[in-house]
Amino acid sequence: MEFDEAGALSGMLELMKKMNRTISIAPMMDYTDRHDRYFLRLLAPHVLLYTEMMTTGALLHGDYQRFLAFDASEHPVALQLGGSEPDKLAQCARMGEDFGYDEINLNVGCPSDRVKSGRFGACLMLEPTEVGDCVAAMKQVINIPVTVKCRIGVDHADSYEELTHFIQTVNQAGCHIFIIHARKAWLNGLSPKQNREIPPLQYETVHAIKRDFPDLTIVINGGIKLTSEIEEQLKHVDGVMIGREAYSNPYWLAEIEKRIFSFDTNETCQRETVIQKLIPYIVDQLKNNIKLSSITRHILGLYQGQKGARIWRRYLSENAHRQNASIEIINEALQHARNII
């Protein structure tokens, strides 16, 4: 068989495009479920999407088929795992790879009580060797990348030396890609929400990690809300992960596509066009007994900053949860928004 150079090149380009980490959307519990990811993908063809955290317990003892299911259009999509037992994480990573996920990410940044009591999440930053063992166990059984999402420190273990020791140890176990939320976490005394707001952002610490570990892929996370901020961060690190702003103001992603990926979104990405593309998906989901409001709750922010924003949000919030709510609710909400714009 002749070597198909053009084919090989296009395959390589495809793969590079697929693993683009310039912009990713953060894992967010109860937010970035499969419906939200389907919607975000319509707005942003080039970003890397993350699932909500799934614990090893939930996957090994729960309805894993339902938890892991996703739509092919979501690629590239990473599965975030929560756990601290290498063998269980390895089993779940394997399940993720079998389901077709593009990356397995270990959560070492979440500070909630539930997570602490299960000895995973941010408290694992205090145990770099154990995190390394988890990474090594997962790498042994899968071929897709294993990445770690962490903080810059926890409690009083917040020196730069402690952070570099963590990165070095986990890197030696085989992780080359770190997503770093640029603030520390207080394990006692602050709620998860407060832990996303009160400890100050220290972007310089993450930039220093990239300077000191130039061969690693370093993605920065935390408090980034403007395209100009993304552009500034990309001078220092390999990628930017955005969370809350992408959820509350999803149309920002269309601007990111234009400015960061030079992807012309004018035609394909008008708000209404996106909803028209979402409608067949919603119709399908309704047939599977998914409630309309389980999907519409993710699209409430679509018109943020526009004249029709309030009526869009209000009409959907008041009507989509009604029993037997049908796709007509979306058409009516569109009609209302259209009349105001």
Applying CB under 6 A, the residues found at the interface with ligand FMN are 26-29, 31, 52-53, 80, 107, 109-110, 149, 181, 196, 221-224, 242-245
The three-state DSSP-derived secondary structure of 272-308 is HHHHHHHHHHHHHHHHCCCCHHHHHCCCCCCCCCCCC
Which residue is closest to ligand FMN by CB?
A: 243
Q: Write out the two tokens for 4.
A: 């198909």
- Measured from the CB atom, is 56 or 80 closer to ligand FMN? 80
**Closest separation in Å from C-beta 224 to ligand FMN:** 6
Burial 237-246 (b: 16+ CB within 10 A, else e): bbbbbbbbbb
10 Å Cβ neighbour count for 323?
A: 5
- Measured from the CB atom, is 129 or 191 closer to ligand FMN? 191
Could you tell me if 62 and 53 are in contact, meaning their C-beta atoms sit under 8 angstroms apart? no
- Measured from the CB atom, is 207 or 336 closer to ligand FMN? 207
- Measured from the CB atom, is 294 or 319 closer to ligand FMN? 294
Identify each DSSP E strand in 196-277 by its residue range.
Answer: 217-221, 239-242
Identify whether 110 is a catalytic site residue: yes
**Closest separation in Å from C-beta 199 to ligand FMN:** 11
Alpha carbon of residue 266 to chain centroid: 25
**Closest separation in Å from C-beta 251 to ligand FMN:** 16
**Closest separation in Å from C-beta 136 to ligand FMN:** 21
Among residues 110, 134, 175, 269, the one annotated as catalytic is: 110
User: Which residue type sits at 334?
Assistant: L
Query: Which positions are annotated as active-site residues?
Result: 110
